[in-house]
Structure 1
Amino acid sequence: MDILWSIVGACLPCFPDLSSPSVTIKDIKYRIVKLLGEGGFSYVYLVKSNNDNAPYAIKKIRCPFGSNDESYKNSIKEIKNYHRFVKFGTPYIIQSIEEVIINEPDGSKSIYILLPYFEKSLQDIINNLVLNDDKMPEDEILKVFIGICRGLKVMHNYKTTSDEQRHQQHDNASTTSTDEEGLLLPPGSDDDEDGPTNIPTELSELIPYAHRDIKPANVMISAEGLPVLVDLGSCSKARIKIRNRQQALTLQDIAQEHCTLPYRAPELLDVVKNSEITEKTDIWSLGCLLYACCFGYSPFEKLEIEQGANISLAISQGKFLIPKNNGGYSSELMDIINQCLKLNPDKRPTIDKLLDTALELSRKSNY
């Protein structure tokens, strides 16, 4: 099956900025309201449908060199990630609504992804609390944390069927090493992308995926109050075997570009050859996120603010401080943070264990 199996073709005008007032996707016109953000070759706009005036987000990605562009390959991978977890029906992972690829006259490509619009992120909530010298109640923190864990559980426990594995082998046989799509997969690794994500109906194999950029800004809050994991551009197969120094340096460079430093696991700061990177990188990031929900900043940002510490050095040493009297939170909640922020990834809990621990603490808190 062609890699673009999930992409809907349509006519869409190019809009590098707000000079174009609207965009049409599958005969539905969306009015551009404002630019929400930009970075690199991508732009995110708030738009409203002419049909019902409902708000949406449109992400535009420019690919100056067409199909040979790294931004193009990463965009296709991001689109596949939006569809990969749909079969699980989880409300905790964002799903795209439509995707369109446009071949521009100059040979470049433009990719447009229509997404749900969320009014606020977890980072917005934390920022507001910091500004008002307030803090989030423990039961609310646990509710958000449990939802994030449920989303990550889907990623970390992802399974592929034997049909998908055969499809992957076929793809690999016809794909050169220079055409790898896996973001955060260094050249020469075995972790190429798999095929379409059919519902498992036969013998399946566990192939965990990791988000790789868990942070409050990548957790949106839905209208129902549920946390939703967004920005799946960094999501990839979790387990990467590092065989040589070149692969280690390549992975470090990719992590530097795509994994936010204050939430980045130490094994991605200094990648060691003959090692394996796993989904435990997300567990470290979860610990940083939980700390930020409690105290306003990542533990390593807080150390930098209060003591002028070097963030990279503090992360590599696993050095952070819990405020006096736990900041008013339970010792059990602080223990979850400490469990996640173990320098040795093997000593961090699995997402299943972490979810069970959080659920048990939530039940105790509600008694």
Structure 2
Amino acid sequence: MICNDEESLDLALKEVNVMKSLKGHPNIVTLYSHAILDMGRTKEALLVMEFCEKSLVSVLESRGSGYFEEKHVLSIFRDACNAVFAMHSQSPPIAHRDLKAENLLLGPDGLWKLCDFGSTSTNHKRFEKPEEMGIEEDNIRKYTTPAYRAPEMWDLLRRDLISEKVDIWALGCLLFRICYFKNAFDGESKLQILNGNYRIPDLPKYSTPVKDLIRDMLQASPDDRPDITQAWFRVNEQLPVNLQKSLPDGPPEMQPTGVHEGSKLANRSHPMPRRSPPPPPSSGGGGGGGQLGAFWSSQHAKDSFSVEDNSRPKFDEEPSHNTSRQDTCGMENHTLSKNSSPAKDENAQTYATRRSVHGKSQISRMALPRTLK
């Protein structure tokens, strides 16, 4: 990433630090190494990350009208919730603020992984002063995507708390996109989003709990949305029993010694994000609050377990000729610590990064040849 000033360098350093804090999580793109090169008038931030060949957008586009079965929808979405859970478990919670289909990548292990941590924020507050509002509105325009932007970010005069709950709204938009291959909102009409003006299509058919979860995550008031813990359990309990887990994957530092990614989750225990009260039932469709009972009781009362997921859905329908891969990558401010050790495997595939589209940095993924010419 080309850093022409202190602001862009600070943003690059924040991206590095957030990725380092989440390193080792199965649903977070791994940062292997990084460096800052002084080029004189500019600096270049170099990030070496694990190679993920497909984005969720490219998979959706390659399927045409071949909609996912419900268990496939839930499998993808639970991976996204897993990553968000790890971020919201931090103290203070880290809000991603730019969750979207472009930022979910399919890893070589078959898991979906979240990327683009430049838009993250831990500055959760209500903005009262006009000058503060102006700065925040500028940041929101730069580092968030209109079609996934929560109502409280569109209109700061509502004086709703802008917190990690913006990610829950974005997850609602993401689940809608995975189900119906289109956006719930076009992102052009502020009033459409502020009024919650969207329609769940009649086809393809999905279960009432899935549609209720979309409705509950797309509540205009952040207080009425479920938190990430509630969302995760509601998704998990709708999956076939052999694909369910006992608990979501937390940040790497929360995992007990010896617990390896992909290992069984029985007897696993780590802190949960803060739990808000269950939201009120949705209007229509019988309400979405009913499934929350399982979160408060059965998931912790019964002996649940996970299995090695050999039957995990494969998402290989994308044509092999698609070689252009990009996802957005914005930033904020953190301090840089020492470089982590570069990957020792000379054959490891990597991708490089460059800036900028619409004020946001872009990652271009390229498989490096095994023999450099």
Length-normalised TM-score, structure 2: 0.62
8 Å CA contact 1:266, 1:343 repeated in 2: yes
Aligned to 1:172: none
1:164 corresponding residue in structure 2 = none
Q: 90, 98, 103: which is aligned to 1:218?
A: 103
Unaligned runs of 5+ residues in structure 1 are 1-60, 160-206, 305-309
Higher relative contact order (CA 8 A, sep 6+): 2
- Looking at structure 2, the residues matched to 211 and 98 of structure 1 have their Cα atoms a distance apart, in angstroms, of 21
Could you say what secondary structure the match of 2:110 adopts? Answer: coil
Superposition deviation, residue 275 in structure 1:
4.2
SS of equivalent residue, structure 1 residue 236: coil
1:335 and 2:212 correspond: yes
Aligned pairs, number: 244
Cα offset, 1:241, TM superposition: 3.6
**Hey, what's the Cα distance between the residues in 2 that align with 1:338 and 1:93?**
26
The answer for the alignment partner of 2:128 in structure 1 is 243
What is the one-letter code of the residue matched to 1:348?
Answer: R
The list of structure 1 runs, each at least 4 consecutive aligned residues, that deviate by more than 3 angstroms after superposition, is 363-367
Equivalent in the alignment of 1:142: 74
Q: Structure 2 CA distance, aligned partners of 1:77 and 1:366?
A: 35
Distance in 2, matches of 1:330 and 1:238, equals 37
> Counterpart amino acid of 1:93?
I
Q: Are 1:85 and 2:22 an aligned pair? A: yes
Shift of 1:135: 0.6
Counterparts of 1:255 and 1:230, CA distance in 2: 18
Q: State the superposition RMSD in angstroms.
A: 1.9
Cα–Cα, structure 1 residues 287 and 238, in superposed 2: closer, same or farther, change >3 Å? farther
Per-residue deviation, 1:366: 7.6
SS of 1:93's equivalent in the other structure is coil
Residue 272 (structure 1) aligns with: 157
Q: Is the 8 A contact 1:243 1:274 kept in 2?
A: yes
2:39 corresponds, among 104, 128, 141, to: 104
Q: Tell me how far apart the structure 2 counterparts of residues 331 and 337 of structure 1 sit (CA, whole Å).
A: 10
The one-letter amino acid paired with 1:314 is Q
Deviation of 1:311 (Å): 2.9
Please report the TM-score for the alignment, with normalisation by the length of structure 1.
0.63
Q: Does 1:209 align with 2:94?
A: yes
Partner of 1:118: 52
- Aligned to 2:60, the other structure's residue is in SS state helix
**Whole-angstrom CA distance in 2 between matches of 1:291 and 1:336:** 10
The share of aligned pairs that are identical, in percent, is 29
Alignment check: 8 A CA contact 1:342 1:348 kept: yes
> Larger % of helix: which?
1
Secondary structure of the corresponding residue to residue 327 of structure 1: coil
Q: Deviations over 1:179-222 (max 9, x none)?
A: xxxxxxxxxxxxxxxxxxxxxxxxxxxx1111100000000011
Which residue does the alignment assign to 2:2?
A: 62
SS at structure 2 position matched to 1:240: coil
Structure 2 vs 1, CA of residues 84 and 366 (structure 1 numbering), >3 Å: closer, same or farther?
Answer: closer
Equivalent position to 2:199, from 310, 318, 321: 321
Deviations 1:313-352 (Å, cap 9, x if unpaired)?
Answer: 211111100112x521111111110010000000000000
